[in-house]
């Protein structure tokens, strides 16, 4: 069929993980600055964090560093939002 460049695939994984992780930053920054979490769904972030935790476990099992690193970063960001939501309502 076609030859897969495994190095390129690894970088593609890191790129996807970086974009996914960075996508949480605007919300985290806004929540930290304003402490306003009224319009944020707690259940959405709980489910998102749970799903990412499963992806992290999967990444660890298959030793896939893009999956591991991006999910560790994103989980810490979503846990920050959950913490603020629980503290500030």
Q: What is the mean pLDDT of the chain?
A: 94
**Domain contains 80:** yes
Tokens read off for 61: 């099992």
pLDDT at 1: 62
Would residue 16 count as lying in a domain? no
Residue 7 lies in a domain: no
Tokens of 15: 């790129």
30 vs 13: CA distance, rounded Å: 27
Query: Looking at residue 64, which CATH number applies to its domain?
Result: 1.20.1280.290
Per the domain annotation, does 56 fall within a domain? Answer: yes
Residue 42 near residue 88 (C-beta atoms within 8 A): no
* Number of neighbours of residue 15 by Cβ within 10 angstroms: 12
Render pLDDT for 54-71 as a digit per residue (tens, 0 to 9): 999 999 999 999 999 999
Q: Mind listing the pLDDT tens digit for each residue in 78-88?
A: 999 999 999 99
Q: How many domains would you assign to the chain?
A: 1
User: 13 in a domain, yes or no?
Assistant: no
**pTM tops 0.85, yes or no:** yes
Instruction: Write out the residue range of the structural domain in which residue 86 sits.
Output: 32-89
Question: Has residue 49 been placed in a domain?
Answer: yes
Residues 74, 21 contacting (CB under 8 angstroms)? yes
Asked if the structure places residue 57 within a domain, the reply is: yes
């Amino acid at each position: 069929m076609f030859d897969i460049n495994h190095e390129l695939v690894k970088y593609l994984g890191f790129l996807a993980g970086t974009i996914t992780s960075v996508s949480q930053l605007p919300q985290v920054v806004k929540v930290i600055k304003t402490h306003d979490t009224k319009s944020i769904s707690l259940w959405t972030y709980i489910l998102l964090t749970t799903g990412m935790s499963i992806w992290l476990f999967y990444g660890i099992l298959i030793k896939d560093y893009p999956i591991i690193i991006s999910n560790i970063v994103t989980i810490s960001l979503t846990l920050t939002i959950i913490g603020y939501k629980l503290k500030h309502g």
